[in-house]
Amino acid sequence: MTSTVLVAGSANLDFVVRAAHVPAPGETVLGREFQTFPGGKGANQAVACARAGGAETRMLLALGADDFAKPIETSLIDAGVQLHTVRDAQLPTGTAFICLSDDAENAITVAPGANMALQPEHLPALGGVQWLLLQLESPLDSVLAYARAARTAGVKVALNAAPAQELPAELLAQLDMLIVNEGELAVVAGNPPDLATGLERLDVPCVIVTLGARGCLARVDQRILLQPAFRISPLDTTAAGDTFCGTLIACLARGGALDRALLAASAASALACTRLGAQSSIPDHAEVNALLADATRLPGADAHAALAAWCAL
Ligand code: RIB
């Protein structure tokens, strides 16, 4: 039987300007080329999950009745995502304004628009779903309601706590997996003095912390797994985290072990950093497999030792 992943969350049209550097507060920077890309953390994760293959991917999203919705729907459908769309004619489709610097840094401001129309009652039937993947660009009440409903139905729940916000204990209690970067860990764990304390404070069976160019770690109950990053020259890190999340859950949904899923998610995320845009940058299964098959590009023992030393766990 094919596994099914349901992603419930945001979809945005990204307005991207490339510039020498991201402007500081109060600064105006003269940028260069401008492009739009389908984005939004939820939609990016759904595309990554679908492109990873092996699991049917569905997405609950909310869009406006405007011209910005079309490219998002087309991108999701082309990736093979089955859509449950809430259409809100009163609100504009979500948008994100991204400044991308020449050293691949970015600054993102999201205007959520229709994403805020996602309500608890919009959750589709969960029959046949193995994993529910959530983020925080939708109303927190809805995120909590979806997590609760999934838990009750025996569906595993993963939350990517992005953008960072403090989380109610009741939401954490519904999760099988929490995925955060370092900044998000600081917020959800109440500014811990170090990584170990942050991990200790989170009462979730599996916590994954992504560490950018260093790699990532997973704390599964009392066990720690480390996955160093693949070495790449980054062009655009937008959606790198989303690619990681979607690929990871697809691998787990098709029965993969967590260490293998971390490896595949890291490979997909590395490839996404070498291309422009959000959904446009997400690799498919074949591209990820080709990278994994190239022994010269796999992170070596030195990278593993460096990550272990940095984590000091
Ligand atoms: O994680 C990257 C995404 O964040 C962008 O695609 C943008 O839409 C914002 O949601």
The domains of the chain, with CATH numbers, are 4-12+40-93+122-311 (3.40.1190.20)
Buried/exposed 215-253: b ≥16 CB within 10 Å, e otherwise: bbbbbeeeeebbbbbbebebbbbbbbbbbbbbbbbbbbb
Mean pLDDT of 37-62: 98
Q: What average pLDDT does the segment 272-293 reach? A: 97
Any ligand 1 atom below 6 A from CB of 39 = yes
Atom nearest to 238 CA in ligand 1 = 2
Name the pTM for this structure: 0.98
Best residue for ligand 1 mutational test, from 35, 44, 75 (most atoms within 8 Å of Cβ): 44
pLDDT in tens, 113-148: 999 999 999 999 999 999 999 999 999 999 999 999
Nearest ligand 1 atom, CA 44: 6
Residues labelled catalytic? 242
Q: Which two tokens stand for residue 19?
A: 């510039």
Q: Specify whether the backbone of 256 is left (phi greater than 0), alpha (psi in -120 to 50) or beta.
A: beta
Looking at residue 1, its pLDDT comes to: 59
Beta strands at 94-101 and 82-88: parallel, antiparallel or unpaired = unpaired
Phi/psi class of residue 106: alpha, beta or left (left: φ > 0; alpha: ψ in -120 to 50)? beta
Share of the chain above pLDDT 70, in %: 100
